[in-house]
Structure 1
Amino acid sequence: MADLSKFSIGGTAYNLKDTSARNTANAVTTAEEYDRQHNINSYAGRSLASVFANEIGSTDIYTWLRNRVRAGNFAGLRIGDYIDVPITAGANVPSQTVRYRIGAIDHYYQCGDTAKGHHIVMVPLAPVSVTGDKAVNTSYLQWRDTNDNNGTADEKHPYLVSKLHDWEINDFLPALPTTLQSAIMAQRVLLEERYSSSEKLTESSGWSWADLGKVWSPSEMEVYGCPVWGTKGYSVGFDSQFPIFSDTASRIAGGRVYWWLRSVMGGSSSHACDVSGTGYASYDAPTHDWIRPLPCFLIG
């Protein structure tokens, strides 16, 4: 077959095609197609391990991503791209593989009482199963053991004394690959307080900067982009919606299962906020036993 990439004049070969220009055009076309899919909410995401295999090389994917993020290099990363994370079985965590998607990029960069560095938010595609003595109905988790959404004298932030957060920090975090644990940036937010020594409060009474640790549940604001059942002001003053939750369908991408939020309900001293299995903003008693966690983290 003739070589159509060149032609010869007087014995001299001349190129007919510009390989560099063609590669650039192909890259632009691919990028435009991904943008189109994002615009119509049909983007399924790409495996970071596959797309960046040559770049990752022999380095584990978590360290590679952390180093890239810390350098502020987000080239080629898209909301919805994912890593499949193997979870090691523990006393209250079953062996499972959790698909973690990029939910936001530099969402809180330079924000907070201590400026936060470059980071990406990683969000599970589906709520995570629980096992052991913390599980209810085989694979679900209560927000708290009692129907109480107030903090305590020692810890005024309700979420930080929840059974949900205890499971995230003491059970789920140790079950993650050790290289991933090292790549996670601890999250610090302006977190609602709700406590009085004289009575149970039905609204959050203030806020303060608080460390959530390396694994945490999203707030109502981070999912819906506005307060729905949470306390106006104190529950939403710092947070903003993650791009991955820009449409209702994204809340049920992993199945029609309820999942907990870290926010507590306004107008009540006994309910916590969650996301319903059909996608709407909901609330339930902390002892409700058909709701699962959605443990998120930052890489950076």
Structure 2
Amino acid sequence: MVIIRNRTILWTNHEQYIGTSYDNNSETRIFQVPRILPAGTDIADFVFNITIKFSNGQNSVIMLGKETVDDVINLTWQIGRNSLLAPGPAFVQISATDSYGTIKWSTYESAVYIGNYIDYEHAGDVEMSEFERLEAYYYDLARKMVAVFESEELREKNEATRQTNEAQRAQETEELIARSEEALRIAEGAVGTVSEKLGLAKSYAVGDEEAREGSSTDNAKYYKEQIQASAAQIETNRQNIVTANQNIETNRQGIILINAKWNDIFVSGAGPHNSLYRGKYLGDHVTAEQWAAIDAGTFEGLYIGDYWVINGVTYRIAAFDYHYNCGDTDLTKHHVVLVPDNSLYKAKMNTSNVTTGGYTGSAMYKSNLAQAKTTIKTAFGSAHVLTKRELLTNAVNDNTPSGWAWFDSDVELMNEVQVYGSVAWGAHDGNGYNVALGDGQFPLFMFDRTKLHNREDYWLRDVASAIYFSIVDYYGHAYCGIASASFGVRPCFCICA
């Protein structure tokens, strides 16, 4: 989210790097502007555009998507080819006007950067990559899978038609029997000669106007033709059902082939499973099959973003085997890194505004994480919460982390790199002490930023200065807070079989 304040575009998290000259529709930026201008004008119904001035002298004007939420307007910029016409620095400016053009408003110019694509002259003509062709192939396979279900619907429709025709034929047969019985009753009860009775019977069977007035219809012929027509329709429906069943079997074989190809691509192990986001509910406890998949390191049926809800807390998978082969004692136990969706509670890093002793010298490390450890071990069982070796800060010199040591670790606050993928407010001199073993971003936050920013302020373990520790800010940006402030406790931990 890019904030616009006093006509100035305030970029965060390197969002001013908008893509490369090869890209097309792979990036978006959302700008948030106040709905009411300082002069009192409501601009919710205005039309918004963004003008881009490229380094080669070209200009583009792109219409922005718009969504009004309470007292702010969210503007969506879909970054397509017309937004990336030339690599290098460029300038953007957002403008708005009412439907009559009588009121106009714009931001100040702001610089952005477009990365160079190696073959810039043919950036728009590059053929699909192997992965893109594979992706297109699976879209086609998915379409065929849809056809399976459409074939099943056709079969069910034909079966319903057959049942309707059967019911109709049975009703017509009953009517024919009733008419015949009525004819017989009248014939037997008629007074007259045998020839009169035969003539009357004939009138009911094949029609005879002389014997009975209004009986010219050949009923026997009519009902014979009706029964023959019903039988022909029933046979047609039967053939349709046979064809539908054959199509279903063909499509079933296609699904078997799709599954085989899928298994060829998505093999088991931490690497493939760290590369695929799913976000599926896994239940209210870890099953025996899930523990077995974790223990084997295949992680079958588990993907980034999947989650359990236990005792009202949502625990989401952030990474697989993140700490594998790390530590002063080699960690060879397969494991899953979990992070709760929200802070478990609020607490202070220290009772006063100091960072003495770094993270391990803080009240948070010494006592304020105890409640989180109890909650987590109750949910998963103490034996399943992995104790590993972590390198954590234990000394601060003025504003700078200056030392670290190996500690047994089970439940810890995350650091900036694990959350953002880079350092932010952690003290830049000596920041390696803050990073230590947490030197890679959790895939969860790389795939889905909504799981990083949850409208909460919560602590990270990085020392930012003599009085500040790093935090993730409520408004969705990196920040820091004084050590005595009370912010959310949102720890990470590992589970194992």
- TM-score relative to the length of structure 2: 0.44
Aligned counterpart for 1:188 among listed residues 383, 389, 406: 389
* TM-fit CA distance, 1:222: 0.8
Change beyond 3 A, Cα 1:142–1:113: same
Amino acid in structure 2 at the alignment position of 1:215: V
Amino acid in structure 2 at the alignment position of 1:193: N
Contact kept, 8 Å, 2:327 with 2:388, in 1: the verdict is no
* TM-fit CA distance, 1:206: 2.1
The 3-state SS of whatever aligns with 2:294 is helix
Please state if 1:48 is matched with 2:48. Answer: no
Q: Which residue of 1 aligns with 2:339?
A: 123
Q: Distance in 2 between matches of 1:282 and 1:192?
A: 19
Q: Which residue of 2 aligns with 1:269?
A: 466
Q: Which residue of 1 aligns with 2:302?
A: 77
Count how many residue pairs are aligned between Structure 1 and Structure 2: 239
Bigger drift between 20-29 and 166-175 goes to 20-29
How does 1:202-281 map onto structure 2 within 5 Å? Answer: 202-212=399-409, 214-231=410-427, 232-239=431-438, 240-246=440-446, 248-252=449-453, 255-265=454-464, 268-281=465-478
The 3-state SS of whatever aligns with 2:452 is helix
* TM-fit CA distance, 1:219: 1.0
* TM-fit CA distance, 1:104: 0.7
Q: Distance in 1 between matches of 2:287 and 2:389?
A: 21
Contact kept, 8 Å, 1:230 with 1:273, in 2: the verdict is yes
* TM-fit CA distance, 1:26: 6.5
Q: Distance in 2 between matches of 1:100 and 1:179?
A: 10
Contact kept, 8 Å, 2:278 with 2:303, in 1: the verdict is no
Greater strand content: 2
Q: Distance in 2 between matches of 1:180 and 1:168?
A: 20
Please state if 1:22 is matched with 2:255. Answer: yes
Amino acid in structure 2 at the alignment position of 1:184: V
Contact kept, 8 Å, 1:102 with 1:122, in 2: the verdict is yes
How does 1:49-128 map onto structure 2 within 5 Å? Answer: 49=283, 61=286, 64-86=289-311, 97-116=312-331, 117-128=333-344
Change beyond 3 A, Cα 1:256–1:178: closer
Contact kept, 8 Å, 1:45 with 1:82, in 2: the verdict is yes
Change beyond 3 A, Cα 1:256–1:115: same
Amino acid in structure 1 at the alignment position of 2:344: V
Amino acid in structure 1 at the alignment position of 2:350: R
Q: Which residue of 2 aligns with 1:35?
A: none
Change beyond 3 A, Cα 1:67–1:194: same
The gaps in structure 2 that reach 5 residues or longer are 1-158, 160-240, 266-276
Q: Distance in 1 between matches of 2:249 and 2:472?
A: 58
Q: Distance in 2 between matches of 1:202 and 1:63?
A: 48
Q: Distance in 1 between matches of 2:251 and 2:472?
A: 52
Amino acid in structure 2 at the alignment position of 1:274: I
Note the aligned Cα RMSD (angstroms): 3.1
The 3-state SS of whatever aligns with 1:25 is helix
Aligned counterpart for 1:145 among listed residues 335, 351, 361: 351
Larger radius of gyration: 2
Change beyond 3 A, Cα 1:44–1:277: farther
Change beyond 3 A, Cα 1:248–1:24: same
Amino acid in structure 1 at the alignment position of 2:415: S
* TM-fit CA distance, 1:160: 2.5
* TM-fit CA distance, 1:236: 1.5
* TM-fit CA distance, 1:20: 5.0
The 3-state SS of whatever aligns with 1:47 is coil
Contact kept, 8 Å, 2:340 with 2:491, in 1: the verdict is yes
Contact kept, 8 Å, 1:66 with 1:183, in 2: the verdict is no
The 3-state SS of whatever aligns with 2:437 is coil
Amino acid in structure 2 at the alignment position of 1:127: S
Deviations 1:222-261 (A, max 9, x none): 1112221223222113221111122644322xx3110001
Aligned counterpart for 1:173 among listed residues 359, 362, 373: 373
More RCO (CA 8 Å, sep 6+): 1
Change beyond 3 A, Cα 1:16–1:101: closer
Percent identity at matched positions? Answer: 30
* TM-fit CA distance, 1:203: 0.7
Bigger drift between 214-223 and 170-179 goes to 170-179
* TM-fit CA distance, 1:273: 0.9
* TM-fit CA distance, 1:16: 4.4
The 3-state SS of whatever aligns with 2:374 is helix
Please state if 1:283 is matched with 2:480. Answer: yes
Please state if 1:296 is matched with 2:492. Answer: yes
- TM-score relative to the length of structure 1: 0.69
Q: Distance in 2 between matches of 1:27 and 1:83?
A: 29
Q: Which residue of 1 aligns with 2:17?
A: none
Q: Distance in 2 between matches of 1:208 and 1:146?
A: 24
Amino acid in structure 1 at the alignment position of 2:384: A
Q: Which residue of 2 aligns with 1:55?
A: none
The 3-state SS of whatever aligns with 1:118 is coil
